[in-house]
């Protein structure tokens, strides 16, 4: 932080981040500059010499840094050849400092990894910070006329004096449509998130702030290769990424779901020489769990490579055990999947680094969301037409493809009709998808949200998504949909959840599918080869088929579906009826009081199925209770049951 009282404030801020770095902590104070930098460290590389904040030899540049630079050994060798002398054994933090000394902002082009860092350059009298290309690691910041502060998590930044906990209405509106908060504006007014692939500069004397993009997804001119040659390229590039991202001085484990992505990571790690690799799988018992169980597939992969395999089996209701801890850990409202919390909790008992398959879906087909788009696209058009699901709001294409995601898993369309026949009889006349899937713009305006009392304009979520869709500048819908996901859902839902849930358990989650060299290689592959409508991951499947059991290669995508509809009529009914009661909504002034009669009451009484709307609103209310109403500064020590009283 730069500003009055920085030393005291930063010590409070780092105190809120001990879970992200329980191994070490430190502070750098510069009283003349009214500046303090603070750090909590999870030791992964150079355990003895990686203490932060760290300075260059002249102490003219200081850094605080979260993440890993996986090409640090190569960068270090090049720097040494150019005359730099290192004082640590293999700290990638020192590599960053020396690279900045040499190239300043240009250093970012050299980095391969997941990172968020801020440097104090005393020579230029600036703070310089950056976030990795795809947004794996977070970086929040806030500005006042006399101060500037930044942090890895919102809960830490809220310790900044003068920062009021005021709801950002546009972010709430986006959340109600998407179940996550997209973009650079956070859920708190005045708190921003540095966009993926961007850097910032803040003048300590002038107070001038600027941010620039140094990387964005680009569908570059594509080479002419056969399917077999592209498959070989995917195998080689993904294998290289997995080897890079296994850089560690501590043991590594793998989350193994039984799906293609995580199984590929395990196979490639084992093939590269990692012996006695630890793998962790989560299974469920209870209603509907058997047909979605992937434990046998995960077990087959573990047996194929001789891993030290561990399984945790939960009842669906077990996911409610730590509900408030999850809400607290996530920083911002989130209505998506919860099971990863228990995977990371399970892994942390043995390891400090966990590999996951996050990113594979977005790179290879994204559940086939492009299918109907291509049927509407005219050859030679400058840009793909907007998808029907995007124009309606973001119902995740339930009407376009059979397999659709829902939280951590999915149901086929015919199964959704069997489970939710009430949607056909929706009394408000909305499209059946929107009748039970998130909230459209019209629904928000007419049935959910009140108008802002100060007359503020609420940003249209559909317009936000359309802008990202068009930014791809590709004629191929497959490219445009991939670009949209990489700018919204991937960084601010899946990667956000992965980072917060893993770091809540002091575990570093790594995502080698999102190695930027691999991402760029995949974006060079022609869209019609990269993914096929009948098999979105065809090319990836071809590339790794020799590593995996046949049953897994041909298994449909599965995954546990959170039983929110049943929860809201069962154990969570008292909580929903209290937090979404008409009198409370009227007093709160955010939701229309009639939201209860239109959505909550019909659902909990079993007369209609509005569980997506009710669950989305309830998860917001839990967040609002902890972060706004109670203004907590530490993880709650009470249960969600106590909020029902």
Q: Could you tell me the pLDDT band of residue 367, with boundaries at 50, 70 and 90?
A: low
Cα-Cα-Cα-Cα dihedral sign, residues 560, 564, 565, 567 = positive
Residue 487 has pLDDT above 70, yes or no: yes
- Which residue ranges make up the annotated binding site for L-glutamine? 92
In angstroms, the CA 405 to CA 398 distance is 9
Residue 619 has pLDDT above 90, yes or no: yes
pTM for the full model? 0.91
Question: Over the chain, what is the mean pLDDT?
Answer: 87
Distance between alpha carbon 20 and the CA centroid of its chain, in Å? 16
Residue 422 has pLDDT above 60, yes or no: no
Mean per-residue pLDDT, 86-96: 92
Domains delineated in the chain: 6-213 (3.60.20.10), 232-365+506-553 (3.40.50.620), 407-454+562-644 (no CATH)
Q: Could you tell me the pLDDT band of residue 366, with boundaries at 50, 70 and 90?
A: low
Range of weakest confidence among 147-156, 263-272, 390-399, 463-472? 390-399
Residue 411 has pLDDT above 60, yes or no: no
DSSP string, 514-542: G-HHHHHHHHTS-HHHH-BTTBTTHHHHH
Percent of the chain at pLDDT exceeding 70? 88
Q: Could you tell me the pLDDT band of residue 420, with boundaries at 50, 70 and 90?
A: very low
Tell me how many degrees the CA angle 599-605-606 measures, rounded to the nearest 5: 90
pLDDT digits (tens, 9 = 90+) for 169-182: 999 999 999 999 99
The reported pLDDT for the residue numbered 373 is 53
Q: Is 583 helix (H, G, I), strand (E, B) or coil?
A: helix
Residue 565 has pLDDT above 60, yes or no: yes
Q: Could you tell me the pLDDT band of residue 441, with boundaries at 50, 70 and 90?
A: confident
In angstroms, the CA 492 to CA 117 distance is 18
Residue 576 has pLDDT above 80, yes or no: yes
Percent of the chain at pLDDT exceeding 90? 69
Residue 449 has pLDDT above 80, yes or no: yes
pLDDT digits (tens, 9 = 90+) for 337-349: 899 999 999 999 9
Identify the residue with better confidence: 272 or 62: 62
In angstroms, the CA 33 to CA 62 distance is 13
CA 532, 533, 538, 540: dihedral to nearest 10 degrees?
80
CA distances from 240 to 246, 267, 307, 509, 546 (A): 10, 13, 21, 18, 17
Residue 531 has pLDDT above 90, yes or no: no
CA distances from 201 to 65, 124, 192, 209, 211 (A): 16, 10, 14, 6, 6
Tell me how many degrees the CA angle 323-114-163 measures, rounded to the nearest 5: 55
Contact 14, 40 (CB under 8 A): yes
Q: Is 30 exposed, middle or buried (0-12, 13-18, 19+ CB in 10 A)?
A: middle
The reported pLDDT for the residue numbered 371 is 55
Helix (H) or strand (E) holding 69: strand 61-69
Residue 89 has pLDDT above 90, yes or no: no
pLDDT digits (tens, 9 = 90+) for 267-284: 999 999 887 899 999 998
Identify the residue with better confidence: 135 or 484: 135
Mean per-residue pLDDT, 398-402: 27
The reported pLDDT for the residue numbered 320 is 93
The reported pLDDT for the residue numbered 294 is 84
- Which residue ranges make up the annotated binding site? 92
Q: Could you tell me the pLDDT band of residue 193, with boundaries at 50, 70 and 90?
A: very high
pLDDT digits (tens, 9 = 90+) for 22-36: 999 999 999 999 999
Residue 606 has pLDDT above 50, yes or no: yes
Tell me how many degrees the CA angle 426-427-431 measures, rounded to the nearest 5: 45
The reported pLDDT for the residue numbered 242 is 97
The reported pLDDT for the residue numbered 457 is 85
The reported pLDDT for the residue numbered 555 is 80
């Amino acid at each position: 932080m730069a500003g009055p009282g920085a030393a005291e404030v930063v010590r409070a801020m780092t105190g809120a981040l001990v879970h992200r770095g329980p191994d070490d902590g430190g502070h750098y104070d510069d009283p003349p500059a009214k500046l303090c930098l603070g750090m909590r460290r999870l030791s992964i590389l150079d355990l003895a010499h990686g203490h932060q904040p760290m300075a260059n030899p002249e102490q003219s540049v200081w850094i605080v840094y979260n993440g890993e630079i996986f090409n640090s050994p190569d960068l270090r060798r090049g720097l040494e050849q150019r005359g730099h002398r290192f004082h640590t054994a293999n700290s990638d933090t020192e590599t960053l400092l020396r690279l900045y000394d040499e190239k300043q902002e240009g250093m970012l082009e050299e980095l391969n990894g997941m990172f968020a860092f801020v440097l104090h350059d005393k020579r230029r009298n600036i703070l310089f910070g950056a976030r990795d290309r795809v947004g794996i690691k977070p970086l929040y910041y806030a500005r006042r006329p006399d101060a500037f502060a930044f942090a890895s998590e919102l809960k830490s930044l809220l310790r900044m004096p003068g920062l009021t906990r005021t709801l950002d209405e546009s972010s709430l509106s986006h959340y109600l449509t998407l179940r996550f908060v997209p973009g650079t504006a956070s859920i708190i007014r005045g708190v921003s998130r540095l966009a993926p692939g961007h850097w910032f500069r803040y003048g300590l004397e002038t107070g001038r702030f600027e941010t620039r993009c140094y990387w964005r997804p680009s569908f570059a001119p594509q080479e002419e290769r056969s399917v077999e040659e592209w498959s070989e390229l995917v195998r080689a590039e993904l294998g290289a990424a997995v080897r890079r991202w296994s850089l560690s001085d501590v043991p590594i484990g793998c989350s193994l779901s039984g799906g293609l992505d995580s199984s590929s990571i395990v196979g490639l790690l084992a093939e590269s020489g990692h012996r006695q690799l630890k793998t962790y799988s989560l299974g469920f018992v209870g209603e509907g769990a058997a047909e979605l169980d992937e434990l046998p597939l995960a077990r087959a992969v573990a047996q194929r490579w001789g891993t030290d395999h561990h399984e945790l089996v939960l009842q669906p209701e077990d996911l409610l055990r730590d509900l408030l801890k999850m809400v607290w850990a996530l920083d911002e409202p989130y209505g998506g999947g919860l099971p990863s919390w228990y995977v990371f909790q399970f892994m942390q008992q043995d390891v400090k680094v966990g590999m996951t398959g996050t990113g594979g879906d977005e790179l290879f087909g994204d559940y086939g969301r492009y299918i109907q788009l291509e049927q509407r696209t005219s050859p030679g058009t400058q840009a793909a037409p907007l998808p029907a699901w995007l124009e309606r709001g973001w119902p995740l294409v339930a009407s376009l493809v059979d397999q659709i995601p829902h939280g951590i898993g999915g149901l086929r369309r015919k199964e959704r009709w069997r489970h939710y026949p009430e949607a056909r009889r929706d009394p408000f006349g909305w499209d059946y998808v929107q009748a039970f899937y998130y909230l459209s713009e019209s629904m928000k305006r007419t049935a959910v949200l009140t108008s802002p009392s100060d007359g503020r304009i609420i940003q249209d979520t559909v317009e936000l998504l359309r802008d990202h869709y068009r930014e791809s500048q590709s004629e191929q819908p497959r490219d445009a949909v991939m670009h949209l996901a990489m700018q919204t859902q991937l960084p601010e839902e899946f990667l956000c959840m992965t980072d917060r849930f893993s770091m809540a358990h002091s575990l570093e989650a790594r995502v080698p599918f999102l190695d930027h060299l691999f991402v760029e290689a995949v974006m060079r592959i022609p869209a019609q080869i990269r993914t096929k409508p009948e098999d979105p991951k065809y090319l990836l499947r071809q590339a790794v088929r020799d590593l995996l059991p046949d049953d897994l290669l041909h298994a449909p995508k599965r995954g546990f579906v959170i039983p929110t509809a049943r929860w809201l009529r069962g154990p969570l009914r008292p909580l929903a009826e209290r937090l979404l009661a008409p009198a409370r909504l009227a007093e709160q002034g955010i939701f229309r009081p009639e939201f209860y009669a239109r959505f909550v009451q019909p659902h909990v009484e079993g007369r209609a199925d509005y569980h997506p709307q009710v669950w989305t609103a309830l998860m917001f209310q839990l967040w609002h209770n902890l972060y706004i109403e109670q203004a907590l500064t530490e993880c709650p020590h009470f249960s969600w049951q106590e909020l029902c009283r």
